[in-house]
Amino acid sequence: MLALFILVVVHEYGHFLVARLLGVKVLRFSFGFGKVLARWHDTRGTEYVLSLLPLGGYVKMLDETEGPVNAEEKKLAFNNKSVWARIAIVLAGPVFNFLFAFAAIWLVLILGVKSFAPIVGGVVPGSLMDKAGLKSQHEIISFGDKPIASWRDFQYTFMLNLGKAKPVALTMRPLTYDETLTIDVPLNAWQPNAKGTDLLASIGIVPFIPKVPTLVGKIKSGSPAERAGLLVGDRIQQYNDVPLTDWLTLVNFVKLNPNKKIALLVERSGKSRKLDVVIGSQELQGRRVGFLGVFSMPVKWPANWLRVHREGPLDALGSAFTQTMELTNATFALIGKLITGKLSVHHISGPVGIARSAGESAESGLAYYVYFLALVSISLGVLNLLPIPLLDGGHLLFYLIEIIRNRPLSDKTKSFGMYIGFALLVSLMLLALGNDLSRL
């Protein structure tokens, strides 16, 4: 919820700031909805409130259409400002979302993002990439007209090309010799998995990930691993008589088996011994998962396996602007495909889905969480520009009609439009909530 709260407050602050700059009196700036927990006022008469539900916020301005206004304050009312001033105030919310995304992407580029090299470990038979001709033990070096240096690069570029009418060229290079091969990947009819499956898995790619040694590097105090007698330096050889050669295999097994008892065979000081462990249980993103409280020895990945993308502050400005524009255009394109039925509406997410994705990105590190905020901020900005009454885009549509007609629409027409907008938004929220619950 924190992610959505931050981004909606950024959006509302855009309205707030520009309204004040253009001489409109702001009556209230609410952080959240529902019961007021705290309130304070500034010297200009604006009330700030902190409310119970951190699902966003709102800005309330002085407006004669919403209540009586004193004669001496009429010039401060929103409705008495020029149509261009009203457009600027309404447009400020989405613009601030795009500015936030730009700043967040700039910060991520400076911090640097680690990702594995885009080496294909396997291709799922019958999948999109299998039919296109992708081969295992090959490294992807370009997709479309963009060079690819990591799996993060590939997923970003893939998203930008989603739904293109013409096949997208993918160039790969085998690991054993220096020769490139180019294939065409048809994306016009391909649909992302609506259940939220990882992108690489949904298109049939099994990435090559180096094996993590099964050496115990750290044990959490009071954890199931500590109670069972595991020690730093132990090498876990088996679990339930299954040979273990990769730490991630054990991690995946443990997550899927909370509260179950397993037998571990460990090597300690050259001798093998058996330990019985009861897997712990914890809630993660709305579901119960198992944990042992044990961590592997740190691994120093070879340079050709791990890629780090980092830019200097000045270079990052141009890259951040380009990425913000590309992601904004891609978001408009995806919404267009949703409206025309070319993309399933089951891909729409609501607050639950956003919260879940925020938690997963936070687990991956600060840079991934900040980048996730940038993506959602762009989506929020684009969504608010749609010409639906109640949204900023609906108000902009009313003002555009006012400019063309040289007079505003009647209150009756605006009210009718608001009812339609309300019905559309409620339907959208119910659909998003249903999608979120089905994914859980």
**pLDDT the model gives residue 14:** 95
Specify the pLDDT at position 440. 46
Tell me what the mean pLDDT of segment 350-361 comes to. 49
Give the pLDDT of residue 90.
95
- Could you tell me the two tokens for 367? 């840079």
User: Which residue, 3, 12, 24, is CA-closest to 381?
Assistant: 12
Residue type, 179: E
Inter-CA distances, 177 with 103, 174, 400, Å: 41, 6, 60
User: Model pTM?
Assistant: 0.75
- The whole-number pLDDT of residue 297 equals 86
The CA–CA distances, whole Å, from 355 to 5, 94, 159, 224, 226 equal 10, 21, 21, 28, 32
Q: Is the pLDDT of residue 179 over 90?
A: no
> Which distant-in-sequence residues (6+ apart) come within 8 Å of 31 by Cβ?
5, 9, 48, 49, 50, 51, 54, 57
Which of 87-91, 187-191, 379-383 is most confident? 87-91
- Give the tens place of pLDDT for each residue, 24-83: 999 999 988 888 889 999 988 899 998 887 777 889 999 888 888 888 888 999 989 999
Domain locations in the chain as residue ranges? 216-296
Contact assessment for residue 16 and residue 385, using Cβ atoms and an 8 Å cutoff = no
- The answer to whether 394 and 414 are in contact (CB under 8 A) is no
Q: Is residue 261 within 8 Å of 314, Cβ to Cβ? A: no
Annotated active-site residue in 12, 72, 226, 283 = 12
The predicted structure's pLDDT at residue 13: 93
Measure the CA–CA gap between 127 and 284, rounded to whole angstroms.
30
The candidate with the shortest Cα–Cα distance to 104, out of 383, 388, 432, 375, is 375
Confidence of residue 437 (pLDDT cuts 50, 70, 90): very low
- Say yes or no: domain 216-296 is CATH 2.30.42.10: yes
Position 341 scores a pLDDT of 63
User: Each residue of 202-223: pLDDT tens digit?
Assistant: 888 988 877 888 888 888 888 8
Q: What is the pLDDT of residue 345?
A: 54
The most confident of the ranges 197-211, 213-227, 335-349 is 213-227
Q: Considering only 119-123, 330-334, 362-366, 373-377, which range has the smallest mean pLDDT? A: 362-366
The yes-or-no verdict on residue 347 having pLDDT over 90 is no
Q: Determine what percent of the chain is predicted with pLDDT higher than 70.
A: 86
Cα separation values, 281 from 240, 254, 313, 357, Å:
19, 10, 43, 21
pLDDT at residue 194, rounded to an integer: 53
pLDDT tens string 113-159: 888 889 998 899 998 999 999 998 899 999 988 899 888 888 888 88
Across 404-416, average pLDDT? 81
Token representation of residue 37: 């927990």
Runs of H (alpha helix) within 112-223 = 128-132, 151-161, 199-202
Is 47 annotated in the active site?
Answer: no
Q: How many residues does the chain have?
A: 440
**Which of 236-245, 302-311, 383-392 has the lowest average pLDDT?**
302-311
Q: Which residue has the higher pLDDT, 440 or 336?
A: 336
SS3 362: helix
